[in-house]
Structure 1
Amino acid sequence: MGLLPKKQLVLRRKDERSTKKTNVVTNIFYQISYELFAMLLPLFTAPFISRILGADMLGVYSYSRTLATYFGLFGMLGVKNYGNREISRHRDDKDLNLWFWSIYAVQFFASLAMLVLYIGYTIFFVVDNQVIAAVQSILIVDSMLDISWFLFGMEQFKKTTTCSTIVKLLTTTAVFLLVREPGDLLEYCLIMGGGVFINQFMLWYYARQAIGKPVFNLKRSLAHGKPMLILFIPVIAVSLYTMMDKLMLGAMSTKAQLGFYEAAEKIILCASSVITAFGTVMMPRMTKLFSDGNVSESQRYMKLSVEAVMASSFAISLGILSVSRLFAPIFWGKDFASCAYILSALALSIPFSGFANVIRMQYLIPNGMDRAYIISVILGAVSNLIANSLLISIYGALGAALGTVIAEGIVCIAQCFAVRKRIALQKYLNCIVPFGVAGLIMAAAVRVIDHVAIVTIPWLLIEIFVGSIVYCSLSLLYLYYTRNELLMAGIQKFSKR
């Protein structure tokens, strides 16, 4: 009888580990499914919008939206990562609602201040397209209401992805019904901003029971101010080599070049969002593991994440680069044929951003290594500004794309340098080399076809099919040879059926 409690304890721990594994896998499934949906949706909308609005109007939209988003960023401060991390640490505490409201109070009042400033800027400084600029203020209200960080910290990914999926379907339908000519840019801005606005209300509805009634504690809110500002520094730095590219293009080049860059960047962001989904899901889980001192389990998750993220990164990066010559004119129209070079250049940044995302979201932030994170992104921002200043005036949108690649590479190297003594980087680097080799072989195979291919949809589909078969075959052989845990689990589950 004395052995029974010990046996029950062992079984209970096994059940807990099984539940945790299932939750992580389920969350990754929901997040990646949503990101894939979000990635595929522009395949229907982008060609329509680029043809209806044209490069110039698309440039006006991009410039005004980017500027409004900047004000929204200052309103959010560093709450995306800080709130996610703190909620994941304290989600089992009795005063969880106090944690939420004390953090959200900082976000609300900061966003309110940014909204007032933006309205003043629109009234006194905007001359051209003033109405468009005013409508984009909806984005700042969206930032004021955004509590996705709370649901992420609670690992409630099903709710966030469900809301976002419903809203994206509604906005896509509205775009096709209401945007019919270049003069409909205002309608397009209202639809895109209003969709996010609806999404925020849906998230509040889902979170209402967990957050409870408003509880304000000025002292606790002020205590959150400093760490939020610390994590806000990298947010601004990162924005310098994402949104600042478009602002610099708008100032140093033509609106058409900005439109080309906006179109190409949208594809890259949609594709790479599948990769960042891993970091979004794993950050709260890794924070909890490190908080509980469970180092072995955190290392296991990190190795699996590196393999999954880098396998996806090389497939997307070299796949886009291989088919860009056919993809650009087919997808956007012949006027956007030059986007092929911009798209190819931006695609090279994906492996760098993918590996850095794993290091950042699964080690630096969960372990509170904010200083190393800040330094890395500041280095990236500075290098991007320098590269943009030198290259945009000569190469236009292509120069901005090359600046982004340089910035992402420097950020990745800096973050790897920061953790070199804490984790076995060589082990992770060794396991991603085969994916790079598989990607290069895939690119070579597609390029052989590309030499004889003409710009038609059937030829594009042939290139995609051949590239997918080559890359997937080589990658699966490597994963099977190394007995990858996820692949083996999938094979075992499939064989039981």
Structure 2
Amino acid sequence: MKKVFKNFLYQATYQLLLVILPLITIPIVSNSLGVKGIGIYNYVNSIIVYFTLVAGLGLANYGIREIASVREDKSLLAQRFSELLHFNIAVSFSVIVIFILFVLMVNRYQSYFLISGLAIVACMFDISWFFAGIEDFKVVTLSNLVIKCISFFLIVFFVNSADDLVKYLLIQSVSLVISNIVMCFFLKGKTTLVKVTLEQIFSHFKPAVNYFYGNLAISLYTTLSKTFLGLIVSVSVVGLYSNSMQLLTMLVIIITTLDTVLMPRLTYLFESKNVARMINVIERTFHVQLFLSIPAMFGLIAINNKLIPWFFGKSFSYLAYTVPVLAPLVIIIPLGTSVMRQYLMPKNEIAKFNFSVYVGAGIGVTANLLLIPFFKIWGAVVASLLSEIAVTCLRLRYLFRETSFTFYKKQIVGYCFSGVIMSIVIYVLTYNLQPTIVTTFIQVFVGILVYGTLTSFLNVNPLISILKKIFEK
């Protein structure tokens, strides 16, 4: 487990950076571009996502599993990597051609689409699935770390007004391309390219498409709200909804870090017929995740009113209503993601994964179509909640029905009790403070202190036992 912990530290460091940097850039970008600029950015990218999905064609999950299953055999590893790499290039190139034709047909935001379309080019060079498959998260983490820091400084210095939307799009898109290209230089010594036939390359089409269907369905219920809001209501409302979800996303990224690290390890355990060990690992990590996600939800609700004004700016004040309603997703999304990455993917249960997201997509699309025309942003909020709840409930049902997995009720009750008390203490102690960054830091510090103390006192803090095991070794 030492390697898993090491990989977790690499991923946690990177994911933490993905949260820390936006704490600086989001206020800058939101105040500079305003609701409309943020709305255009998210509306354009909600459409670009569909092209990048096809370009990636499920390799984010399928590629990891394929590499993880042959990582012990250098010859097979080189063969599989070469097949997947050529397959990725062929699919990405085809999508780029289709995208260019699409841009020529659109009348609105054509230049923005072209710039953001560089994300599709980035897919051609994306080999992060290889490094994740061999459990070498150091390369992906460090290369992305450097590029993210560079793009961070470029945003700070060059995005200063509503006229800088093009600069912002360029920085985001070009940094994505460069970060993927940089990873290619670290392949030396890991594997080699070997000659492969067209038949071998496209033998991955059918299984990859199975993963793609699921990813497409996920996109339908996670990004379609932005597309519908942009088409039916306005790009300004897209900006409000997108920033509401962005707060939750930052927390979800941190909470789901362990899933990315564990997926190749759990695949290896399943392939080695060590299913009992696999379920034991899943059970422990789920409760560590809940230990983090439950206070994150209560904490977000508690600090919301003091956070929104300085973080996003006055034009985003309406988020004070939407964020608390969406806050349960901080628990719901990571739970569903964990079942997918830690159980369904390692077991190659693609049909079950796809069914869960098909249900989510069906509910999401239907709710968006029915509710957005009448309730606007609140229609999108309700659609997001309904679809994510449905997906998570279905996946948990698979886990309960097929394994001995169980939730530890005492621990979860302890997390909830501590989270409620924490949020009350935060609210009371900081009620009269001004909405500033200093206030937010005070609230977070108080929250961590109260929650950590209460969970330790109730003997439900899993971090204590984890740290004990690490230091004992």
- Distance apart, 1:416 and its partner CA: 1.3
What is the CA distance between 1:214 and its match in structure 2? 4.7
Please list the CA deviations of residues 149-188 of structure 1 after superposition, one character each: whole Å capped at 9, or x if unmatched: 1110010111111111101100011112222322221111
Question: Distance in 1 between the 2:144 and 2:257 partners?
Answer: 14
Alpha-carbon separation, structure 2, partners of 1:240 and 1:259? 18
Q: CA RMSD in A?
A: 2.0
- Matched residue, 1:119: 100
Match status 1:445 vs 2:425 = yes
Q: Distance in 2 between matches of 1:495 and 1:209?
A: 34
Give the structure-1-normalised TM-score: 0.90
Residue of structure 2 equivalent to 1:487: 464
Q: What amino acid maps onto 1:268 in structure 2?
A: L
Shift of 1:483: 8.3
The separation in 2 between residues aligned to 1:457 and 1:159, in whole angstroms, is 33
Partner secondary structure for residue 189 of structure 2: helix
What are the equivalent positions in structure 2 for 1:144-155 lying under 5 Å apart?
144-155=124-135
Match of 2:153 in 1: 173
1:330 to 1:418, Cα distance in 2 relative to 1, 3 A: same
Pairs within 5 Å for 1:320-359: 320-359=300-339
Question: Residues 132 and 186 of structure 1 are in contact (CA less than 8 Å); yes or no, is this contact kept in structure 2?
Answer: yes
Alpha-carbon distance between aligned partners in 2 of 1:109 and 1:27, rounded to the nearest angstrom: 31
Q: What pairs with 1:53-68 in structure 2 (closer than 5 Å)?
A: 53-68=33-48
**Partner Cα distance (1:277, 1:290) in 2:** 21
The residue type equivalent to 1:440 in the other structure is V
Structure 1 unaligned residues grouped into runs of 5+: 1-20
The Cα of 1:283 is off from its aligned counterpart by 0.4
Partner amino acid, structure 2, of 1:164: N
Amino acid at match of 1:300: N
Q: 1:272 to 1:483 in 2, by over 3 A?
A: closer
Q: Is the 8 A contact 2:269 2:278 kept in 1?
A: yes
CA change 1:434–1:173 in 2 (3 A) is: same
Instruction: Pick closer, same or farther for the CA change 1:74–1:495 going to 2, 3 Å.
Output: closer
Which moved further from structure 2: 179-188 or 420-429?
A: 420-429
**Range 52-61 or range 165-174, more displaced:** 52-61
2:87 equivalent to 1:106? yes
Query: Is the contact made by 1:311 and 1:475 (CA closer than 8 Å) also made in structure 2?
Result: no
- Whole-angstrom CA distance in 2 between matches of 1:470 and 1:406: 32
Structure 1 distance, partners of 2:324, 2:145, is 29
Amino acid at match of 2:467: G
Give the partner amino acid of 1:184: D
Tell me which of 155, 165, 171 is aligned to 1:185: 165
Partner of 1:4: none
1:168 and 1:258 map into 2 onto residues whose CA distance is 25
1:451 positional shift: 5.1
Give 1:334 deviation, angstroms: 1.2
How far the C-alpha of 1:431 sits from its partner, in A, is: 4.1
What residue number does 2:215 align with?
Answer: 235
Query: Deviation of residue 450 (structure 1)?
Result: 6.0
List aligned pairs for 1:321-400, cutoff 5 A. 321-400=301-380
State the distance in 2 between where 1:395 and 1:448 align: 33
Amino acid at match of 1:448: V
Greater gyration radius: 1
Question: Aligned pair 1:35/2:12, yes or no?
Answer: no
The alpha-carbon deviation at position 216 of structure 1 amounts to: 2.2
CA contact (8 A) 2:452 2:461 kept: no
Does 2:61 correspond to 1:84?
A: no
The structural deviation recorded for 1:368 is 1.4
1:26 positional shift: 0.5
- Cα deviation, residue 146, structure 1: 0.8
1:6 corresponds to which residue?
none
2:464 aligned partner, one-letter code: L
Task: Report the alpha carbon displacement of residue 409 of structure 1 after superposing the two structures with TM.
Answer: 0.9
Q: Describe the SS at the equivalent of 2:190.
A: helix
Q: State the AA in 2 paired with 1:402.
A: V
In structure 2, the CA distance between the partners of 1:70 and 1:493, relative to structure 1 (3 Å rule), is closer
Considering Cα pairs closer than 8 Å and 6+ residues apart, tell me whether 1 or 2 has the greater RCO. 2
Alpha-carbon distance between aligned partners in 1 of 2:212 and 2:408, rounded to the nearest angstrom: 29
Equivalent residue of 2:406, what SS? helix
Instruction: State the alpha-carbon separation in 2 of the partners of residues 97 and 308 from structure 1.
Output: 36
Change (3 A) 1:489 1:354: closer
| Contact map agreement 2:7 2:261 (CA 8 A) in 1 | yes
Whole-angstrom distance in 2 between the partners of 1:251 and 1:493 = 53
TM-score (norm 2): 0.94
Call closer, same or farther: CA 1:433–1:483 in 2, change over 3 Å. Answer: closer
Report the secondary structure of 1:377's partner residue: helix
> Unaligned stretches of 5+ in structure 2?
none
* Counterparts of residues 417-428 of structure 1 (less than 5 Å): 417-428=397-408
Identity %: 28
**Range 280-289 or range 447-456, more displaced:** 447-456
Who is 1:432 aligned against? 412
Distance in 2 between residues matched to 1:425 and 1:494, nearest whole Å: 28
CA distance in 1, matches of 2:109, 2:428: 47
* Secondary structure of the corresponding residue to residue 41 of structure 1: helix
